[in-house]
């Protein structure tokens, strides 16, 4: 069996086992009770048989006689279910019967056992009914023998067993329910550490913790330790990758500066076309380096808290206002102090920096920054009143290194970097018409929503 719920499988297996076990126990108890009732009836019949033997004798004429009869009134009622019979074994074979037996003769057919010289047997009675009988053969001092039989209808056993089963069944059902409830509680308590482990994993996936912090039992502790070792190795690998990217960028900075000087020298010598081609290739290299550095700075695997959007937006806008393009714009920040986003503060600054810088480059007179927060996540929007982007070109604007405005000085990486960061946090970027201008919205989900999505 694969998939499904461990709790459900354990509970179902236990429930089925309990029902089967109690069912077999019920069958066994019924059988044992039936044997007990038969033994009790045989014991009662033995008492009646001893009384019958005591009342039976051969008279002076050698005839078999029973005086007086047994006291139980059922012996006098025809077909009452309780019978006795005395038959002479030697001689004339005379048979004396109780009135309840009417004209039927009893003959033991299957021996059940023997108790104190009394033979217990099953036989066929009036109307073919099954009887339980106690029989005994007596030989007097004169060597004459007779067999005394006392029998009772087996339906008395069946009635007692049915009554017992009718009382036993509800008790077994109640016991089954109690045991199933106990097993369900036991399974729930037993699997509680796994629920704690799931909650700890949710904290890690939601970037609220860097490792599993859970008090796991010894059976689960090796799994927790292995996961923590894996998380530590992943964090080290991420740090090494960032360091490698940073080292690569610094290592290339000096050669790129040298190439830039050579480009200026070529222009001075009149090699403008060659300088332009080299400068174009150099720009592609710089864009690639800038993008990889931005991607390396993203910290999706690191535990983060809630970041105040208004504070980060205020810092970014303050920097942009000092630029030549920002001085001419009316920049509005409409973000409530209580609005937060589940993202690293530096990553949020990278997002807002790219969006505000792009908007300031194309805006005519106005630029707005807004944000709203819900239980599912936070949406940050940056809008401008510039020319905007045609709907058919918006998807291309998110691609790496694409510049829709080739006349400017940008690298074409701003929106692509924003999309990369948002994607690392399980978010998304949306471009829309601001009428006039462009509105760029970035949705950043809450850690719990991001974990469910993952």
**What pLDDT digit, counting tens, does each position of 189-221 carry?**
888 887 888 888 777 776 667 777 777 777 778
Paired with 150 in beta bridges are 84, 134
Residue with tokens 């106005």: 366
User: Pairing mode, if any, of strands 366-373 and 330-334?
Assistant: parallel
How does residue 41 score in pLDDT terms, banded at 50, 70 and 90? Answer: confident
Q: Which of 11-25, 163-177, 297-311 shows the lowest mean pLDDT across its residues? A: 297-311
- Mean pLDDT estimate for the chain: 80
Which token pair is 400? 């790496």
pLDDT in tens, 339-349: 888 888 888 88
pLDDT digits 0-9 by tens, 269-286: 777 777 777 877 777 777
CA–CA separation, 179 vs 191, rounded Å? 18
Q: Tell me the sheet residues that pair with 189.
A: none
Contact 201/214 with Cβ under 8 angstroms? no
**Residue 385 near residue 365 (C-beta atoms within 8 A):** yes
Per-position DSSP letters for 277-333, written without gaps between them: HHHHHHHHHHHHHHHHHHHHH--TTS---EEEHHHHHHHHHHHHHTSHHHHTSEEEE
Of 249, 322, 247, 234, nearest to 290 by C-alpha is: 249
Whether residue 221 is preceded by a cis peptide bond, meaning omega within 30 degrees of 0, is: no
pLDDT digits (tens, 9 = 90+) for 82-131: 999 888 887 667 888 888 888 888 876 666 566 656 788 888 888 888 88
The whole-number pLDDT of residue 175 equals 94
Q: What is the mean pLDDT of residues 395-423?
A: 62
Q: What are phi and psi of 146, to 5 degrees?
A: -150, 155
* Two tokens, residue 426: 């399980």
Looking up tokens 């290739």 gives 281
Q: Tell me phi and psi for residue 372, to 5 degrees.
A: -140, 150
pLDDT at residue 128, rounded to an integer: 84
């Amino acid at each position: 069996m694969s998939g499904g719920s461990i709790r459900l499988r354990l509970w179902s297996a236990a429930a089925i086992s309990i029902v089967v076990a109690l069912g077999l126990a019920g069958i066994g108890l019924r059988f044992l009770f039936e044997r007990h009732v038969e033994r009790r009836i045989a014991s009662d019949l033995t008492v009646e048989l001893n009384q019958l033997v005591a009342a039976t004798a051969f008279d002076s004429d050698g005839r078999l006689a029973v005086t007086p009869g047994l006291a139980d009134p059922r012996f006098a009622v025809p077909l009452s279910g309780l019978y006795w019979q005395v038959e002479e074994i030697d001689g004339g074979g005379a048979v004396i019967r109780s009135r309840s037996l009417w004209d039927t003769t009893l003959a033991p057919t299957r021996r059940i056992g023997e108790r104190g010289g009394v033979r217990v047997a099953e036989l066929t009675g009036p109307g073919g009914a099954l009887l339980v009988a106690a029989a005994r053969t007596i030989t007097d001092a004169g060597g004459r023998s007779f067999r005394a039989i006392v029998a009772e209808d087996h339906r008395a056993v069946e009635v007692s067993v049915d009554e017992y089963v009718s009382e036993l069944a509800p008790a077994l059902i109640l016991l089954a329910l109690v045991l199933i409830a106990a097993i369900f509680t036991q399974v729930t308590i037993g699997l509680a550490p796994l629920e704690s482990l799931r909650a700890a994993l949710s904290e890690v996936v939601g970037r609220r913790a860097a490792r599993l912090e859970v008090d796991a039992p010894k059976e689960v502790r090796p799994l927790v330790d292995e996961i923590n070792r894996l998380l530590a190795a992943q964090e080290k690998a991420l740090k090494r990758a960032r360091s490698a990217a940073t080292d690569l960028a610094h290592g290339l900075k000096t050669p790129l500066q040298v190439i830039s000087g050579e480009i200026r020298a070529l222009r001075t010598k009149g090699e403008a076309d060659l300088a332009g081609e080299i400068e174009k290739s150099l720009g592609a290299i710089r864009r690639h380096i800038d993008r990889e550095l931005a991607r390396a700075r993203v910290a999706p695997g690191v535990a983060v808290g809630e970041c105040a959007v208004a504070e980060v937006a205020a810092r970014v806008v303050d920097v942009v206002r000092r630029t030549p393009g920002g001085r001419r714009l009316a920049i509005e920040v409409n973000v409530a102090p209580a609005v937060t986003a589940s993202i690293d503060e530096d990553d949020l600054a990278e997002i807002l920096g790219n969006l505000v810088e792009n908007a300031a480059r194309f805006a005519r007179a106005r630029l707005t920054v807004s944000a709203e927060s819900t239980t599912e996540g936070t949406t940050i929007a940056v809008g401008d009143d510039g020319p905007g982007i045609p709907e058919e070109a918006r998807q291309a604007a998110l691609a790496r290194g694409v510049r829709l405005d080739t006349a400017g000085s940008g690298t074409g990486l701003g929106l692509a970097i924003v999309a990369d960061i948002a994607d690392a946090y399980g978010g998304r970027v949306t471009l829309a018409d601001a009428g006039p201008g462009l509105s760029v919205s970035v949705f950043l989900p809450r850690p719990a929503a991001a974990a469910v999505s993952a």
